[in-house]
Amino acid sequence: MSSRGSGGRAPRASRAARTPKPGTSGGPFANQAKHRLISSEPKRVKLRADEAEENFRAVHDPEGTRLQKVLASAGVASRRVSENLIAEGRVMIDGRTVIEPGVRVVPEQVTIHVDGIRLNLDVEHQYAVLNKPAGVMTTMSDPEGRRCVGDFLTPEQQKLRLFHVGRLDFETEGLLLLTNDGDLAHQLTHPSYEVPKTYLAELRGNLPRKAEAQLRAGIELEDGPIVVDDFHHMGSNGGRTLVQLTLHSGRNRIVRRIFEHFGAPVARLVRTAVGGIAIGDQAQGTVRELTSREVGHLRDLVSDQPNEQGGTR
């Protein structure tokens, strides 16, 4: 169903919230509540004594590190607060709830969730996001001297040997992940994992009334069918239309080709999110480090078995 209001004038596409220009704030989701690692209303779990003992034996490694120390090192909370989180049943190791602070684990060998949020226990790799402006090459350097991703990194960040995860077209703006974790980057860009990506697109012209239904059902492009995961019509005015769509395909220029199919070419395109990682009010041309929660979310995106059919459904 379209997200247009039931009454009143449709919002002007030219006035819709968008990714901020360099040096400014505000963005497509500027009013979005800030995420916190620990839920304000956590769901506490009560285990029977035999369940607690079974879970303890299943995950405990006497040669490992105390769980509360692992949580503190991951930036969850102090060791004392972490002990409370464990006792309240808010911590899971490899899918098992543990309530015994004495449990020890080898961080590199387990998956830990707190309040359902996966922790990033990888201290070796670095993860960041660039809000890419238009007119920037998605390369770390350019022999022709054009602006590229590497131009936005500090000398310290360049020493970390970060590289971009996937690509954005020269004129496409928005969220571009950066990391030196090759394995995670490969999984996030592989079509079989179907990682969702969200875009705001300003179109020249109006979409046909049936466009949304056709996109949800699937349309045929020259390189095969494409289906959107989600779609919202944000407003139209003066021959311009603003839409938001989510899809998991990483095919070349896929968003632009979708709207060319409907005779409404893209005038401006902004990637606002990859999975649950949103650009928010991050100013264009800036790089920020991902939080432990955000990195954990990325790992959860690719933790399931990949879809052997690939990313186009």
**Catalytic residue positions, numbered:** 169
Residue with tokens 């022999």: 143
Enumerate long-range contacts of 255-260, CB under 8 Å, 24 or more apart: 255/199, 255/201, 256/169, 257/221, 258/215, 258/219, 258/221, 258/226, 258/228, 259/201, 259/203, 259/207
Judge whether 162 and 128 are in contact, CB under 8 Å.
yes
Phi, psi of 293 (to 5 degrees): -60, -45
Q: Which residues contact 164 (CB under 8 A, 6 or more apart)?
A: 130, 138, 139, 140, 149, 176, 177, 178
Give which of 186, 174, 178, 193 is closest to 255, Cα–Cα.
174
Tokens of 154: 């500090």
